[in-house]
Amino acid sequence: VLIAVAGPLAFGGAWSAWLYKALVLLVIACPCALVVSTPVTVVSGLAAAARAGILVKGGVWLERGRLLKAVALDKTGTLTRGQPALTDAFALGALSVDEALRLAASLDDASTHPVARAVVAGWRTRDAQSTQGALLAVDDFAVLNGLGVKGRIAGEVWHLGNHRLVESLGVCSPDLEARLATLETQGKTAIVLCSPREAVALFAVADAVRPESADAVRTLKQLGVTPVMLTGDNPATARAIAAQLGIDDARGNLLPQDKQDAVADLSARHGMTAMVGDGVNDAPALARADIGFAMGAAGTATALETADVAIMDDDPRKIAAFVGLSRKVSAVLMQNIALALGIKAVFLVLALAGEATLWMAVFADVGASLLVVANGLRVRRHFGSVPASVRN
């Protein structure tokens, strides 16, 4: 209106010429290309991620991925297969190994933790070759987050859990400490069966490292992202697994609250921080992280609900793939914005100079919209350049 009315009054000339120029500017000013550039690009990125088995709960998480500076990774079920097997069983008191293992399996039968399932599976294997009988009834069962489990069997309270649980019960001894240290330095997870008076049996389980984990850690480092291991397992086991994978910072004996605090510390030290986990114990840390990743195949419902991104095939390499996709989306977004504004700026100058026609303005508007849409759709082919093992 200003150009159409003030133009002829201030500068003279035909009213029709200034009206035509005003219409040209009106068409050029249409923000279609700028508005459509972001949703098309982000949706293309979400579609590419979904095709690669990475489910993202919203575009905001995809856009944040490029800013990640540190990634905290849980050990069991994330960097390892999450299918530990019973490897050692020692009697420490009057009970025999078979009796102690039966008690331990009875306590762990109600737990879904991978270590607990390994104990139960180990008992079933031995039970098939003996006459131990069925599992014992457990009353007052309770999960001690980050420590183990407890329950009442035949009127007596039993505890089964990690090194920290033994310390908290006050039944640790120099001999038990030495046995625990030996198992832990071998990269095994040690658990102890305790009566109210003493530790009566020691078990160890081992979990194989995922073959993809070393590649995942190496790729994250190449992207400038610092990997950190957080686990409720003992520090010695954590260091042993971390050494195999090339992780320099491994923190063990962490309760759920400790993991949450560790993520907060990493965020303060490094900046944008992600958490990767699969269990209930990881939920507080997943919620505290700037981006939470859940292992979709082995993950619990709590972890999947809390996380912002789900890795459907539990391949840790897709954490780095997600960061790469986020950076690609950001780059294309910048290209689209520059393209949309650049074309508008050129035709704005031409219109003010009287060189642009109405059909040229229409071409600039519709053409720019088509260009940014076509450019945004390129993101769908992002995973076409990565190995099939990562893409599938």
Domain boundaries of the chain, sorted by first residue: 2-38+327-371, 41-81+209-323, 85-206
CA distance 309 to 46: 11
Residues forming a β-bridge with 213: none
Q: How do residues 19-49 score in pLDDT, each as one tens digit?
A: 877 787 777 777 888 888 889 999 999 999 9
Answer whether 25's CB lies under 8 Å from 360's CB: no
**Residue whose structure tokens are 């986990």:** 277
CA distance 29 to 36: 14
Q: How do residues 120-167 score in pLDDT, each as one tens digit?
A: 999 988 766 555 568 889 999 999 887 899 999 999 999 999 888 998
79 vs 390, residue with greater confidence: 79
- Which is the CATH superfamily of the domain at 85-206? Calcium-transporting ATPase, cytoplasmic domain N (3.40.1110.10)
Answer whether 91's CB lies under 8 Å from 100's CB: yes
pLDDT for the residue numbered 128: 60
Answer whether 64's CB lies under 8 Å from 293's CB: no
388 falls in which pLDDT band (50, 70, 90)?
Answer: very low
The proportion of the chain whose per-residue pLDDT surpasses 70, expressed as a percent, equals: 95
For residue 235, pLDDT beyond 50: yes
Q: How do residues 276-323 score in pLDDT, each as one tens digit?
A: 998 888 999 999 999 999 988 766 788 888 999 999 988 999 999 999
Calculate mean pLDDT across residues 223-237. Answer: 90
| Residue 77 φ/ψ region, left for φ over 0, alpha for ψ in the -120 to 50 degree band, beta for the rest | left
Please tell me the number of Cα atoms within 13 Å of 242 on its side-chain side: 22
H-helix segments, the chain: 2-11, 15-28, 32-51, 59-64, 97-108, 114-127, 163-169, 174-185, 213-222, 235-245, 256-270, 283-288, 301-306, 317-352, 358-377, 388-391
pLDDT for the residue numbered 127: 67
For residue 392, pLDDT beyond 50: no
Lowest mean pLDDT among 78-87, 371-380, 382-391: 382-391
Provide the mean pLDDT of the chain: 87
pLDDT for the residue numbered 390: 45
CA distance 79 to 282: 14
CA distance 366 to 344: 11
Answer whether 24's CB lies under 8 Å from 353's CB: no
**Which burial class, exposed, middle or buried, applies to 23 when counting CB atoms under 10 A from its CB (0-12, 13-18, 19+)?**
middle
Number of C-beta neighbours around residue 212 at 10 A: 17
pLDDT for the residue numbered 350: 80
Q: How do residues 325-340 score in pLDDT, each as one tens digit?
A: 999 999 999 999 998 8
Calculate mean pLDDT across residues 52-67. Answer: 93
User: Which of 3-17, 180-194, 258-272, 295-309 is modeled with the greatest confidence?
Assistant: 258-272
For residue 106, pLDDT beyond 80: yes
For residue 386, pLDDT beyond 60: no
**Residue whose structure tokens are 């219409």:** 23
41-81+209-323: what CATH class? alpha beta
CA distance 105 to 98: 10
pLDDT for the residue numbered 391: 45
Which amino acid is it at 281?
A: N
DSSP reduced 3-state for 157: strand
Is 0.85 surpassed by the pTM of this model? no
For residue 17, pLDDT beyond 80: no
CA distance 390 to 231: 25
pLDDT for the residue numbered 262: 95
- The helix (run of H) or strand (run of E) holding residue 202 is strand 199-206
Catalytic residues: 74
For residue 271, pLDDT beyond 70: yes
